[in-house]
């Protein structure tokens, strides 16, 4: 109880400005599932008025979108309260978790996500499943329906995974066009799931940066950003991964460390918080953070040959973590509007979360679908034929939303990089 962030909770004056911004409060209608309600519960637990077990469900059902922070007139650090409370709950829960479940969790967080080789092997198996025709046969025979509903739903919207040979042949560096001086020297953050499941978007990202006049390098030794670990309250694992990434990117004197996933970027720009008070690592982390950029921030400073018109209606699903934590809002919209032919239509309540939130949509599937259904109503009102996202989780979630609405033939869901690459005439094998 003493480890709970009590001092931060008393900054909340319970005004309620956060309520309209909170997706779970809007769909669940309970104070315990609102930001001020959760803050009050953390405060009560710290005071010993309720048990940690009573705190578990309200915090588990929080998306962590942090839309409440911009809405708060008192500047309450909700993200800090949430993450630190989840650390306490993880420690508490670990004492009662069964050994098989704990072992499985440890394997995923400590052995799989941080290990590029294991993730590549997983991607290879999914590629084989897709390219061999097994996926089509399984879907046609409805064999995937034997899976739990959440897994069956996302199996149907899996991205087309790069072949093993294509991944092996990807260069470690990309250069600007011949005769062009490099405008920026960029170290590219590949991520874990991003480089396994969405490698095509990573490849297009690096090629676009090079086309825009950047010298791009894939730094060796980098690993998972640690965002999923942080959301699960696994602080020690998060710190270990942060140190590995900081050390890896210190090897290259780059102008920017660039990522293309809103969720990853949100943790990367807060690495220094993990080392508060550490005289050595906090400074190293601050230098890392000072160079960290979302890819849209870099591309917006460059000239891109967007020569191929896209005559479609486009709307944009904002990544919560990119908007609310990284504070990157203007650049993606600017890049979309640069593309010739596009008619851009903003969704009503554009900052509303889609319900993805890392693996929230897998572990809290029903609650996530309720939030997604609200988002899809605002999307349909735009009559868009393309939904643009800037985060892999949002990409899959919106694809699922399109499928649930029966719009798969009319509406495409693309990462911003895919849309820009299409206009620039770029493709990958």
* Domain edge (last residue) among 235, 268, 299: 299
- Residue among 332, 338, 334, 328 at smallest CA distance from 304: 338
Q: Flag whether 307 is in a domain.
A: no
User: Are 275 and 349 within one domain?
Assistant: no
User: Are 88 and 111 within one domain?
Assistant: no
Average pLDDT over residues 25-49: 96
User: Are 284 and 176 within one domain?
Assistant: yes
* Confidence label for 96 from pLDDT (cuts 50, 70 and 90): low
pTM of the model as a whole: 0.93
* Confidence label for 3 from pLDDT (cuts 50, 70 and 90): confident
pLDDT for 142:
83
Q: Flag whether 1 is in a domain.
A: no
User: Are 275 and 338 within one domain?
Assistant: no
In sequence order, the 6+-apart residues with CB closer than 8 A to the CB of 415 are 198, 201, 260, 388, 389, 390, 392, 395
Q: Flag whether 60 is in a domain.
A: yes
Domain count, the chain: 4
* Confidence label for 384 from pLDDT (cuts 50, 70 and 90): very high
User: Are 249 and 189 within one domain?
Assistant: yes
Q: Which residue has the tokens 């959301």?
A: 231
**What are the tokens at 377?**
């109503």
User: Are 274 and 394 within one domain?
Assistant: no
pLDDT for 380:
97
CATH of the domain at 292: 3.40.50
User: Are 176 and 294 within one domain?
Assistant: yes
* Domain edge (last residue) among 45, 74, 94: 94
User: Are 21 and 79 within one domain?
Assistant: yes
Determine the longest span between alpha carbons in the chain, in angstroms. Answer: 69
State the Cα–Cα distance between residues 219 and 113, nearest whole angstrom.
18
Q: Flag whether 305 is in a domain.
A: no
Mean pLDDT of the chain: 94
CA 11 from chain centre, in angstroms, equals 28
User: Are 130 and 214 within one domain?
Assistant: no
User: Are 361 and 277 within one domain?
Assistant: no
Q: Which residue has the tokens 């690993």?
A: 223
Q: What string of DSSP letters covers 81-121?
A: HHHHHHHHHHHHHHTTS-HHHHHHHHIIIIIITT-HHHHHH
**What are the tokens at 190?**
């590949």
Contact criterion met (CB below 8 Å) for 292 and 263: no
* Confidence label for 1 from pLDDT (cuts 50, 70 and 90): low
User: Are 268 and 143 within one domain?
Assistant: no
Q: Flag whether 308 is in a domain.
A: no
Q: Flag whether 234 is in a domain.
A: yes
User: Are 175 and 265 within one domain?
Assistant: yes
* Domain edge (last residue) among 155, 176, 201: 155
Q: Flag whether 404 is in a domain.
A: yes
Q: Given strand 412-415, what is the order of strands in its sheet?
A: 343-344, 313-316, 386-389, 412-415
Domain that holds residue 42: 6-94
State the Cα–Cα distance between residues 56 and 311, nearest whole angstrom.
48
């Amino acid at each position: 109880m003493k480890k709970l962030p009590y001092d931060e909770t008393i900054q909340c004056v319970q005004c309620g400005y956060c309520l309209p911004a909170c997706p779970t409060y809007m769909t669940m209608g309970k104070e315990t599932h609102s930001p001020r309600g959760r803050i009050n519960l953390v405060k009560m637990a710290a005071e010993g008025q309720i048990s940690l077990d009573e705190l578990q469900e309200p915090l588990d059902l929080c998306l962590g979108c942090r839309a409440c922070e911009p809405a708060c007139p008192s500047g309450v650090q909700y993200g800090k309260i949430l993450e630190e409370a989840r650390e306490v709950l993880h420690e508490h829960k670990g004492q009662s978790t069964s050994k098989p479940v704990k072992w499985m969790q440890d394997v995923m967080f400590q052995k799989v996500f941080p290990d590029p080789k294991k993730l590549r092997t997983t991607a290879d198996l999914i590629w084989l499943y897709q390219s061999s025709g097994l996926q089509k046969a399984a879907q046609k025979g409805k064999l995937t329906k034997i899976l739990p509903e959440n897994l069956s739903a996302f199996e149907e919207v899996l991205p087309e995974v790069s072949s093993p040979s294509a991944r092996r042949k990807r260069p470690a560096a990309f250069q600007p066009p011949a005769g062009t001086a490099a405008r920026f020297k960029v170290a590219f953050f590949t991520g874990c799931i991003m480089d396994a499941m969405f490698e095509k978007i990573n490849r297009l990202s690096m090629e676009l940066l090079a086309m825009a006049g950047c010298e791009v390098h894939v730094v060796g030794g980098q690993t998972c950003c640690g965002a999923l670990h942080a959301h699960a309250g696994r602080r020690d694992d998060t710190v270990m991964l942060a140190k590995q990434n900081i050390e890896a990117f210190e090897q290259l004197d780059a102008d920017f460390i660039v990522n293309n996933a809103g969720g990853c970027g949100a943790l990367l720009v807060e690495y220094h918080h993990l080392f508060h008070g550490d005289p050595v690592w906090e400074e190293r982390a601050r230098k890392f953070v000072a160079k960290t950029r979302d890819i849209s921030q870099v591309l917006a400073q460059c000239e891109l040959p967007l020569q191929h018109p896209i005559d479609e209606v486009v709307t944009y699903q904002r990544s919560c973590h990119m908007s609310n934590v990284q504070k990157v809002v203007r650049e993606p919209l600017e890049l979309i509007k640069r593309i010739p032919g596009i008619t851009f239509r903003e969704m009503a309540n554009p900052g509303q979360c889609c319900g993805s939130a890392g693996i929230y949509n897998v572990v809290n599937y029903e609650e996530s679908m309720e939030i997604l259904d609200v988002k899809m109503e605002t999307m349909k009102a735009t009559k868009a034929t393309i939904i643009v996202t800037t985060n892999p989780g949002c990409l899959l979630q919106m694809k699922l939303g399109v499928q649930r609405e029966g719009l798969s033939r009319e509406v495409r869901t693309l990462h911003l990089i895919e849309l820009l690459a299409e206009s620039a005439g770029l493709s990958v094998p």
